[in-house]
Structure 1
Amino acid sequence: MLRFALLVLLIPVFGSAQTRRVQMLESYDAETFGRYQDEGRTIVLQFHSLSCDLCIQQEVVLKKIAAENDPTTPSFFQAVLSMHGNLAMLYSAKPSMLLVFRGKRLIGRETGLTNGKALRELISRSLMKSRGRPLPRSKREFKPKR
């Protein structure tokens, strides 16, 4: 009888742990994301699905990187595919996809990385690749020759 009572008491605890998940990264908000882009920050956007185990592993590693006190650490956002479907369609995103932005420019994308070293390499490789490129010029007004 005691075993049955313990089992009945523990089932709700274990059952709710699988359905309830603590969100660890900052949730995608268009206003905050746009402000960070206008400031020229480096941003990593993770597309997440609630049924994706790889996304949860990736999220844990991203949280560790975000907790570092390095001033070069980028800002991290998480977009849930079921809530941000238009954003996912815009970038043809799949679960566990990471997008790296520098300001408003998309400079890197990768899917399925769960290793901390590989994630850091993606960020640094994307930044180094974008450094040599000039910023796009604004369009000039057309003035006819005299």
Structure 2
Amino acid sequence: MTRAVHRAGFRPLAFASRQLLLRPAALKIAASIVLTLLALGLYSLSRGSYPLPASTLARALLAPQEMGEQPRFILFDIRLPRILMALLCGAMLGLAGAAMQSITRNGLADPGLIGVKEGASIVVLALVLFFPAVGLVWRPLAGWSAA
């Protein structure tokens, strides 16, 4: 059994009474993706119409109470929430796609496969045709409720 596991590329990692099989190549890829996301996140924290130098970012992470009001507002109230929301939205879209592919057992599955996209489109179209005075904010909500 152990030889077959090693031949398949897995390496055992033991924790107390449990054993975890890891594939080093997949672990390296996952670590490089996480490091790339971290580097891009730090880069996007420092760039914008009001640039923040690396020293200000370091001071913000280590001692935020010593920062000025404007850089603290820009960093913690504008840029950081946007970056976190982008990461969470990307992760949720990836999970939704993986769920769709595993449910349909189709590696090329998309929302159009089971009519999700078409159902949302028809509800938005009906909203525009029958209730033209309704504000624009209701269109995405109607599409979301139909999907």
TM (normalized to structure 2)? 0.24
Indicate the structure with greater strand content: 1
TM (normalized to structure 1)? 0.24
Highest Rg: 1 or 2?
Answer: 2
